[in-house]
Each structure stands twice: as C-alpha cells, then as structure tokens.
C-alpha cells in the first residue's frame, strides 16, 4: 500500500533531521580535531557517517512505499563548543531530540494503522536506546575526568579505537 501524504511528509522531515544530525556531528568532529583530540574527532566522524546511513534508510523506505522524496535545506548546526564535554553534551541533547522525533513517527504510523512502518521504526527505537546510552556514558566519564588531562587523553585513545559498524548501527 502506498504511503499516506502525512507520513510521506513526516518521513521527509526525518530525512532532513538525520542529515542535519550528520552535519552537526561533522561540526563536532572538526571542533575536536582543532582541540587536538583526534580519537574523539574520529568517533564523531563515524557518527556523522551513521546519521547519513539513517537518512538513507528513510529515503529508501519512502521510495519503496511509492512515495516522493523531497530534499530540503540542511540547517547550520549552530553549535558553540568550548570543551570536549560540551561537544558530547550537544550530541546527547541532539540524540534525545531524534528519539522524540522517532516516537512521533511511531505515534503517527499507529494512528494511521501503517503497520508496514513498524519494522523500520522498531529498528530506530532500539538504535536510539543504544545511542543515548553510549553518548550518555561518555558525557558522564568526561564529567569524572574534569581537568585531568591524562585521563582525557586516555579516553581520546579509547574512542579513537571505534571501528565503523555495518548497517549504520
Ligand atoms: Mg540517527
């Protein structure tokens, strides 16, 4: 069954939000590189790639459901970053916003009895639990680290070891 007009619009908005996330993560990656934290920068860069993959999951779904994809302008991340902690806090705030958007999509799909949306949205519900938990832990560890530069460099090394994952997870 083709996608409804309202779901089509909502998924197009989500494509834009995922692309804006990718853009925001890229800005964070640049900031962390400038701060001489290449491991954290690389972590954010992988995150940016993941968000692009997320956008494409919605992109493919709309097309598969005989909908129309309309790409719109991607907003400037507009982040004022001062420390690694501020970058990861911005990331956590952003992930919570994405989780709320996924929840809204779920509610809309349910209202419209569009059960074909469920496998896709269930994947994103699980993904968001993981994202918030991962970023939340890094934020807490950065708070513990405080002004301890040695510990900050250790965490930078650890995050730099992250490998790209399959399927944008
Ligand atoms: Mg995402």
Q: What's the per-residue H, E or C state across 43-77?
A: HHHHHHHHHHHHHHHHHHHHHHCCCCCCCCCCCCC
22 Cα to the center of ligand 1, angstroms: 8
**Residue 76, domain member (yes or no):** no
Q: Say which residue, 12 or 168, is predicted with more confidence.
A: 12
Question: How many Å lie between the centroid of ligand 1 and the Cα of residue 38?
Answer: 22
The pTM for the full model equals 0.93
In a domain, 165, yes or no: no
The answer on pLDDT for 169 being more than 70 is: no
pLDDT for 168 beyond 70: no
Distance 34 CA to ligand 1 centre (A): 25
Distance 149 CA to ligand 1 centre (A): 31
Residue closest to 142 by CA, chosen among 158, 130, 127: 158
Pairwise CA distance, residues 35 & 23, whole Å: 19
Over the stretch 114-161, which tens digit does the pLDDT of each residue have? Answer: 999 999 999 999 999 999 999 999 999 999 999 999 999 999 999 999
Q: Which domain holds residue 151?
A: 5-71+81-160
Ligand 1 centre to CA of 156 (Å) is 23
Cα(13) to ligand 1 centroid in Å equals 13
Based on the structure, what is the number of domains in the chain?
Answer: 1
What CATH number corresponds to the domain at position 9?
1.20.1260.10
User: pLDDT tens-digit profile of 59-115?
Assistant: 999 999 999 999 999 999 999 999 999 999 999 999 999 999 999 999 999 999 999
**How many Cα atoms within 13 Å fall on the side-chain side of residue 10?**
20
Q: Is residue 125 assigned to a domain? A: yes
Mean pLDDT (whole number) for 41-65 = 97
Q: Does residue 87 sit within a domain?
A: yes
CA 133 vs. chain centroid, Å, equals 13
Residue 165: which pLDDT band, with cuts at 50, 70 and 90? confident
């Amino acid at each position: 069954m083709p996608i409804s007009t309202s779901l089509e619009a909502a998924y197009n908005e989500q494509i834009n939000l995922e692309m804006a996330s990718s853009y925001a993560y890229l800005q964070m990656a640049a900031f962390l590189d400038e701060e001489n934290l290449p491991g954290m920068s690389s972590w954010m860069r992988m995150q940016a790639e993941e968000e692009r993959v997320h956008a494409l999951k919605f992109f493919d779904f709309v097309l598969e459901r005989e909908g129309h994809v309309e790409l719109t302008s991607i907003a400037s991340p507009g982040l004022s970053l001062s420390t690694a902690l501020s970058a990861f806090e911005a990331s956590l705030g952003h992930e919570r916003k994405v989780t709320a958007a996924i929840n809204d999509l779920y509610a809309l799909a349910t209202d419209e009895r569009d059960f074909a949306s469920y496998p896709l949205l269930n994947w994103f519900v699980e993904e968001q639990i993981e994202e918030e938990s991962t970023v939340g832990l890094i934020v807490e560890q950065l708070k513990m680290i405080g002004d301890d530069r040695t510990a900050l460099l250790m965490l930078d090394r650890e995050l730099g070891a992250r490998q790209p994952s399959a399927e944008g997870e």
